[in-house]
């Protein structure tokens, strides 16, 4: 009698479980299908998003992890692929190429020993002839990594924080007083290959030395697009120039068609009276290949570039072509096995002395792409700190000791960033802040120095970074970093906290004015502690309102922010904020208008995080005129004022 109900119940449970599994599989399959479709269209970022949704429903899938890793690798983000390759292998995914690509990802993260183990295994048991050869080359190159790490190239490297964004910036080129570069910052249509914008060519006006561009708060750095060159929905990048900057060759491509990356070609444009001509396709392009990263020789007659065309030694090789007087280019010539490898050589550039520079992943290096200088016909790794475990590429040498380059190394602001490199500076700038702390008590005719009081130095985030005590004359000093904003504050019971903003931004003298060694630049600060006197009105300057309105204008907000700072610096005080009108208009109207204005100001201050219990709004209309018989507009303005007074000080 019990058997049938139990059997029926078990069948019901089994059917329910089967249904749950089918629904789960259906969801996973749907996301996988959409991801595979985007992957086939080389829309790798979109594919990653779908694959990750599938992975969320089937977290242990080695195959899904592999697909995510491959999407990162194919969109030039192989360092991010490492955990997914590992998860694929841990999940039992059997495709043997995974071991090779996992080795590449480990190397891109600076895990050289772990990467070497993967390359050794693949070189021994791998079956893909091309990858097997590359793995063997990686094993051979691994022995030189320690030498590169210990080569101790005497360069200093600086992130051009004034130019870099969360987008990608790379391929610098200095033309006149402008730093030309490529970036995805345009904010237009998204390129689904990596989720960023399409590449465009930009230029930054550089009016100071390179050090100014390393300041994230630098002002006066104007950036503009190359009008007539950049096309919506296409990649336009990697500009090089000849003929005093009036001949430009750049790369264009990646429309998102089935050909995908294989339709990147070189275009030429001429500058005529400040306007760039319609770009023309160069005759040296191979319609079946990826042609990019052009670079002119110093005399403008030879064009070097990278191409994936058939007949090369590896993935991308470096070629050269000569331009005649009519602007026609000769048939491209491969630079041969002394330069090119079975890997990829690209991002070629030429120094002012004719020295060739390339980026390669086939030569012994620290990461995926390393930078090399060609010496005596052979590429020489430029070592640290120019090279890193990340991609280092797109160098523009100003001379043999300084220049610009691109990198996606850790610590940058975006995917790819622009960097400056140079020999260690012998001319150093040290900023010193010299200050004096004073106090003013009610009734005093002059301020007096305050000895033995703490003064604190805050960074631009409000974090304490240093503190000193004033000497017998109220003096204090701080040593400051360059290109940074600070605040100095001092406190004393019974007085308003004294605060002053200080910045070293833009205070570095021109290099020509500096002498060898340490150069001190001294800044000054005056801090004044004003006694807190309850019920004493303090006028807030420049609080203006539009006629017959009470809303807070932007200029008034700036002044009210100062009162917000006072309340933040003095948490024990409570205030009354009052608004006053002039005598024109009726008493009732002025009373109502002043109350509305006071309340509007208080609401603004509360919106900045001030406790409402610490501030009261009061409108006095025309009842407290400071100029009773005002006749001029200036006198009326003195009457139309906003004040605050301390009404309570907590013990």
Q: Give the tens place of pLDDT for each residue, 390-419.
A: 899 999 998 888 899 999 988 888 789 999
Q: What are phi and psi of 201, to 5 degrees?
A: -95, 130
pLDDT tens-digit readout, 458-500 = 988 888 989 999 999 999 999 887 667 899 999 999 999 999 9
CB 112 within 8 A of CB 124: no
- Domains of the chain and CATH, by start: 26-149 (1.25.40.10), 156-422 (2.120.10.30), 427-530 (2.60.40.10), 538-649 (3.30.1330.60)
Buried-state track 61-80, b at ≥16 Cβ within 10 A, e below 16: bbbbbbbbbbbbbbbbbbbb
Structure tokens at 575: 């205030």
pLDDT tens-digit readout, 183-216 = 988 777 777 777 788 899 999 877 656 666 776 6
Which residue in 225, 226, 206, 227 sits closest to 162, CA to CA?
A: 206
Helix (H, G, I), strand (E, B), or coil: what is residue 564?
helix
Q: What are phi and psi of 429, to 5 degrees?
A: -115, 130
pLDDT tens-digit readout, 24-53 = 445 677 888 888 898 888 888 888 888 888
For position 259, what pLDDT does the model report? 44
Distance between CA atoms of 248 and 226, rounded to whole angstroms? 11
Q: Is the pLDDT of residue 424 over 80?
A: no
For position 258, what pLDDT does the model report? 46
For position 14, what pLDDT does the model report? 44
- Please report the sign of the dihedral spanned by the C-alpha atoms of residue 283, residue 289, residue 293, residue 299: negative
Q: pLDDT grade, residue 515 (50/70/90)?
A: confident
C-alpha dihedral (507, 511, 512, 515), degrees to nearest 10: 90
Tell me how crowded residue 524 is: count the other CB atoms within 10 A of its CB: 11
24 to 21, 27, 37: CA distances (angstroms): 5, 5, 20
Strand partners, 449: 438
Q: Is the pLDDT of residue 20 over 50?
A: no
pLDDT tens-digit readout, 65-123 = 999 999 999 888 888 899 999 988 888 888 889 999 999 999 888 888 898 999 998 88
Helix (H, G, I), strand (E, B), or coil: what is residue 200?
strand
Mean of the pLDDT values across residues 171-188?
87
pLDDT tens-digit readout, 570-610 = 999 999 999 999 998 899 999 999 999 999 999 999 999 99
pLDDT tens-digit readout, 292-332 = 999 999 999 999 999 999 999 988 999 999 988 777 899 99
Q: pLDDT grade, residue 140 (50/70/90)?
A: confident
């Amino acid at each position: 009698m019990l058997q049938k109900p139990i059997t029926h119940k078990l069948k019901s449970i089994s059917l329910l479980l089967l249904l749950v599994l089918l629904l789960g599989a259906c969801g996973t399959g749907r996301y996988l299908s959409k991801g595979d479709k985007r992957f086939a269209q080389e829309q790798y970022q979109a594919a990653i998003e779908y694959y990750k949704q599938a992975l969320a429903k089937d977290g242990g899938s080695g195959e899904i992890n592999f697909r995510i890793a491959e999407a990162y690798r194919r969109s030039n983000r192989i360092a991010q692929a490492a955990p997914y390759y590992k998860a694929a292998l841990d999940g039992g995914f059997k495709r043997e190429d995974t071991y090779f690509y996992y080795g590449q990802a480990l190397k891109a993260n600076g895990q050289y020993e772990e990467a070497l183990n993967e390359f050794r295994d693949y070189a021994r048991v791998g079956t893909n002839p091309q990858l097997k050869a590359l793995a063997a080359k990686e094993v051979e190159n691994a022995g030189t990594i320690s030498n590169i790490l210990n080569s101790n190239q005497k360069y200093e490297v600086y992130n051009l924080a004034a130019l870099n964004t969360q987008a990608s910036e790379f391929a610098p080129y200095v033309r006149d007083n402008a730093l030309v570069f490529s970036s995805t910052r345009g904010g237009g249509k998204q390129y689904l290959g990596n989720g960023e914008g399409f590449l465009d060519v930009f230029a930054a006006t550089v009016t100071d030395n390179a050090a100014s561009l390393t300041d994230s708060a630098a002002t006066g750095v104007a950036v503009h697009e190359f009008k007539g060159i950049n096309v919506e929905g296409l990649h336009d990048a990697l500009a090089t120039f000849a003929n005093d900057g009036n001949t430009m060759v750049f790369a264009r491509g990646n429309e998102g068609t089935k050909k995908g990356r294989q339709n990147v070609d070189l275009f030429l444009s001429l500058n005529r009276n400040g306007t760039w001509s319609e770009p023309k396709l160069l005759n040296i392009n191979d319609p079946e290949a990826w042609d990019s990263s052009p670079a002119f020789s110093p005399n403008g007659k030879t064009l070097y570039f990278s191409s994936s065309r058939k007949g090369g030694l590896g993935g991308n090789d470096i070629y050269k072509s000569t331009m005649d007087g009519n602007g026609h280019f000769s048939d491209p010539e491969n630079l041969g096995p002394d330069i090119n490898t079975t890997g990829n050589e690209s991002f070629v550039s030429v120094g002012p002395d004719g020295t060739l520079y390339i980026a390669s992943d086939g030569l012994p290096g620290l990461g995926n792409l390393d930078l090399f200088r060609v010496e005596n016909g052979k590429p020489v790794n430029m070592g640290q700190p120019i090279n890193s475990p990340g991609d280092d590429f797109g160098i523009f040498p100003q001379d043999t000791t300084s220049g610009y380059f691109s990198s996606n190394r850790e610590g940058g602001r975006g995917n790819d960033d622009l960097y400056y490199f140079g020999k260690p500076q012998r001319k150093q700038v040290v900023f010193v802040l010299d200050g004096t702390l004073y106090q003013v008590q009610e009734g005093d005719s002059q301020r007096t120095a305050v000895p033995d009081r703490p003064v604190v130095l805050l960074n631009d985030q409000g974090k304490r970074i240093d503190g000193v005590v004033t000497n017998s004359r109220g003096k204090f000093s701080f040593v400051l970093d360059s290109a940074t904003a600070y605040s100095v504050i001092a406190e004393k019971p019974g007085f308003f906290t004294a605060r002053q903003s200080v910045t070293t931004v833009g205070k570095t003298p021109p290099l020509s004015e500096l002498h060898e060694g340490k150069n001190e630049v001294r800044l000054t600060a005056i801090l004044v502690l004003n006694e807190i006197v309850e019920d004493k009105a303090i006028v807030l300057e420049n609080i203006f309102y539009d006629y017959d309105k009470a809303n807070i204008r932007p200029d008034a907000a700036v002044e009210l922010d100062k009162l917000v700072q006072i309340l933040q610096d003095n948490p024990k005080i409570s205030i009354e904020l009052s608004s006053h009108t002039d005598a024109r208009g009726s008493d009732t109207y002025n009373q109502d208008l002043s109350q509305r204005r006071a309340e509007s100001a208080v609401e603004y201050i509360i919106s900045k995080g001030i406790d409402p219990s610490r501030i009261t709004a009061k409108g006095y209309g025309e009842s407290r005129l400071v100029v009773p018989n005002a006749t001029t507009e200036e006198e009326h303005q003195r009457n139309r004022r906003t004040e605050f007074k301390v009404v309570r000080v907590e013990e």
